[in-house]
Amino acid sequence: MIIEWVKPLAKLKGAIEAHIDTVGEPLMYGSRLPELIQELKSIPEIKIVSIQTHGSLLTEKLAEELAEAGLDRINLSMDTVDPEKAKYLQGTQWYNLERIKDVVNYVLENTKTDVMLTPLLLPGINDKDVEEVIVWGKKIGVGKKYPPFGIQMFMHHKHGRRPKELRKLNYKEFLRTLRNWEIKYKVRLILTEEDFNIVKKPILPTLFRKWEKVRVKVVAPGWLKNEWIAIPVGKNEGLTTITVIDEYGEVGEELKLNVRIINNKHNIYLAKPA
């Protein structure tokens, strides 16, 4: 189903990068991930396939399978090179950083897949750790074809964690920090659209107006409690998904119902039962 949605999008956009990401861990896609990558690479307009991961499920065998399927780049969210600090930052004791580092070395030495390290800067918590990630990344040779580092600025999300020790940092301060590190470590850290061939392309046409009533079929639970993923029935069937917000717990999987669109910004459709 994913591929059938990607094909018309790729045709509309032209040459694009397909980046596999999710609110969870993309590697949870499991044994079908190489198949997905292979099918994405078969689409003429898709020139690059990349994936975002924390690396905890990555193994040498899986890395080889992903590389053989055509994976061009792994964006690895590594926030420290300290194993104990990594467990704290990931919020779990089973996070094995040393194992992940071994697999990253294997990827760089034995496959054509590139690695970009994308640590999340948490001011007051892992400032020094991010510097150590830069040093380690330069040492092992990340960024063979693409930028080696893509340091992320922390942005608070209402459903995310917010450590008490976190220090506020505005965008100007973030850029200043990166410039200082660029000088100190002789590596470019402030990236531009040109680094990823980002250009403006046509946006997908809006399929449903705000407040429009739509007939849908619920196909899966959503990300959050009381959310469900649905597909339109009839008009625009199979062209998009609609997130149905179920405040009263009446919606269930495989149910067909009428919903009203409450938000349609950026082709992300939110609806409530009508």
**What DSSP assignment string belongs to 63-79?**
HHHHHHHT--EEEE---
CATH of the structural domain 14-196, one choice from 3.40.50.1820, 3.40.50.2300, 3.20.20.70, 3.40.1160.10: 3.20.20.70
Lookup result for tokens 């392309």: 201
pLDDT at 30: 80
Name the DSSP class of 220: E
Length of the chain equals: 274
pLDDT score for 262: 97
| Separation CA 189–CA 148 (nearest Å) | 8
Distance CA 103, CA 118 (A): 16
Judge if 14-196 and 213-273 fold alike in CATH terms: no
Give the tokens for residue 239: 């062209």
Axis-axis angle for helices 83-90, 97-110 (nearest 10) = 100
Rounded CA-CA distance 241/58 in Å is: 29
The two most distant CA atoms of the chain are separated, in Å, by 59
pLDDT at 1: 66
Residue with the two structure tokens 């009839």:
234
Domain boundaries, the chain: 14-196, 213-273
The pLDDT of residue 239 is 80
The CATH number of domain 213-273 is 1.20.1740: no
**In angstroms, what CA-CA distances link 99 with 58, 89, 94, 169?**
9, 16, 11, 32
Number of Cβ atoms within 10 Å of the Cβ of 32: 9
What is the pLDDT at residue 73?
Answer: 98
**What is the separation of C-alpha 169 from the centre of its chain, rounded to a whole number of angstroms?**
23
Per-10-residue mean pLDDT for the chain, 274 residues long? Answer: 86 94 88 95 97 96 97 98 95 94 98 98 96 98 96 84 84 97 97 92 92 94 91 85 87 85 95 94
Q: Tokens 């750790």 belong to which residue?
A: 129
